[in-house]
């Protein structure tokens, strides 16, 4: 019969926490183990952080749109696809019951060339445009300054754009596509993995920069629809699909965000790259954890054999090994998380990316850490199962 030992060493109802005692018996070994596992955890945390920053940067403009339902060409496979549709379709959409407003968002990612007013170098930037009396963004800085855009040749610039653009400096004029524009104000958005900076303007200014003459833009990139109070979004969405041609996709905001995220995760190269990086970190941690667990089992094999000899079942010993592996993982995970907080902040400031620790990253990284340590323990625990007291002594 197995005997439960109390903390005082006598038989009782409070068993000795063998896994914890074994873990803390050798402080320097614990430090080395935590450092090794923490290195692998840090690799995973950085990959998870980059992946989240990639998605957040790709979705931040869509999240900042002030609409309930959105219209876009079915030929768009991502937001940055150039596939405009006719403005007249917004008039059709506005006549659908339950629609309060249907406003255009104009956009271009590949034909606007910004001139840094300080050094004269020219860079590609993305541009968004809307009618100043028909706002489409939730960004307070843009809405507070939208009246300035009513004048032709006036733009707002992203002060968080890449520093080599010069948008963060105190500038009042520059050139876009060789046309002089006045910089009436700034807003904070930040770059993504495609665009280095952003300019926002009116539809007339947008047309002049792309075609050299003031007028209506060539087409609508995204229709932003606000619903009337009390309107059923699902019912209005169905009616819009009936009223509009099959070449127009009608999406709720959640569906639009999911559509863009699915492209970035499954089709673009960046999503799989970060996923593979996380897997590599997991495998590295698995190997490190296996080596740590195997060494600890080898060192404590006489003790495990003794426990077997006095009647402790193999299941109990397996539980001790798994508990110790899990504790090893947590001991490496905690400092890795603390270190990653500083690295997230540093990289976010340098790369101008939304690197932030989230609950999702915390729980995913903890699950991966404990999982890799338990898996390594399962692989290494065979020596405990096969331990024979007669052979050890």
| Per-residue model confidence as pLDDT tens digits over 74-115 | 999 999 999 999 999 999 999 999 999 999 999 999 999 999
Q: What local confidence, expressed as pLDDT, does residue 214 receive? A: 64
Task: Take residue 229 and report the two structure tokens written for it.
Answer: 């109070």
Q: What local confidence, expressed as pLDDT, does residue 384 receive? A: 63
Closest CA to 179 of 144, 214, 129, 132: 214
- The H-or-E segment that residue 102 falls in is strand 99-115
Q: Is the dihedral of CA 293, 295, 299, 302 positive or negative?
A: positive
Q: What local confidence, expressed as pLDDT, does residue 213 receive? A: 63
Question: How far apart are alpha carbons 193 and 202 in whole angstroms?
Answer: 25
Q: What local confidence, expressed as pLDDT, does residue 385 receive? A: 62
Question: How far apart are alpha carbons 393 and 388 in whole angstroms?
Answer: 9
CA distances from 126 to 6, 232, 236 (A): 68, 34, 32
DSSP secondary-structure letter at 105? E
φ/ψ of 248, rounded to 5, equals: -110, 125
| pTM for the model | 0.80
Residues contacting 51, CB < 8 A, separation 6+: 271, 274, 275, 278
Q: Which residues pair with 202 in a beta bridge?
A: 130
Q: What local confidence, expressed as pLDDT, does residue 30 receive? A: 77
Q: What local confidence, expressed as pLDDT, does residue 252 receive? A: 96
Three-state DSSP at 182 gives strand
Low-confidence ranges of the chain (pLDDT < 50): 1-13
């Amino acid at each position: 019969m197995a005997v439960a030992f109390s903390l005082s060493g006598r038989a009782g109802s409070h068993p000795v926490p063998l896994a914890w005692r074994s873990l803390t018996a050798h402080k320097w070994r614990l430090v080395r183990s935590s450092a090794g596992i923490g290195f692998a955890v840090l690799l995973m945390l950085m990959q998870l952080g980059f992946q989240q920053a990639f998605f957040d940067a790709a979705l931040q403009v869509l999240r900042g749109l002030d609409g309930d339902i959105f219209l876009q060409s079915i030929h768009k496979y991502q937001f940055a696809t150039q596939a405009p549709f006719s403005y007249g379709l917004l008039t059709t959409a506005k006549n659908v019951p339950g629609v309060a407003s249907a406003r255009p968002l104009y956009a271009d990612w590949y034909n606007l060339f910004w001139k840094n007013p300080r050094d004269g170098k020219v860079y590609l930037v993305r541009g968004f445009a809307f009618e100043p009396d028909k706002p489409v963004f939730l960004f307070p800085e843009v809405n507070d300054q939208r009246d300035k855009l009513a004048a032709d040749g006036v733009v707002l610039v992203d002060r968080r754009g890449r520093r080599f653009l010069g948008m963060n400096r105190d500038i009042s004029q520059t050139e876009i596509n060789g046309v002089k524009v006045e910089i009436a104000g700034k807003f904070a958005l930040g770059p993504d993995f495609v665009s280095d900076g952003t300019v926002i303007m009116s539809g007339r200014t947008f047309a002049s920069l792309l075609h050299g003459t003031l007028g209506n833009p060539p087409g609508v990139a995204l229709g932003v629809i606000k619903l009337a109070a009390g309107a059923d979004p699902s019912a209005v969405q169905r009616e819009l699909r009936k009223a509009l041609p099959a070449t127009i996709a009608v999406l709720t905001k959640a569906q639009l965000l999911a559509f863009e995220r699915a492209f970035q995760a499954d089709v673009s190269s960046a999503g799989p790259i970060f996923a593979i990086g996380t897997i590599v970190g997991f495998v590295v941690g698995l190997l490190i954890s296996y080596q740590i667990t195997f060494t600890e089992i080898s060192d404590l094999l006489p003790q495990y054999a003794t426990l077997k000899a006095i009647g402790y079942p193999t299941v109990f010993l397996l539980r001790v090994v798994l508990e110790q592996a899990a504790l090893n993982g947590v001991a490496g995970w905690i400092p890795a998380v603390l270190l990653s907080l500083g690295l997230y902040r540093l990289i976010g400031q340098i790369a101008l990316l939304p690197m932030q620790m989230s609950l999702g990253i915390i729980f995913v990284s903890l699950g991966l850490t404990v999982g890799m340590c338990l898996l390594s323990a399962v692989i290494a625990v065979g020596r405990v199962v096969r331990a024979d007291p007669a052979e050890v002594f």
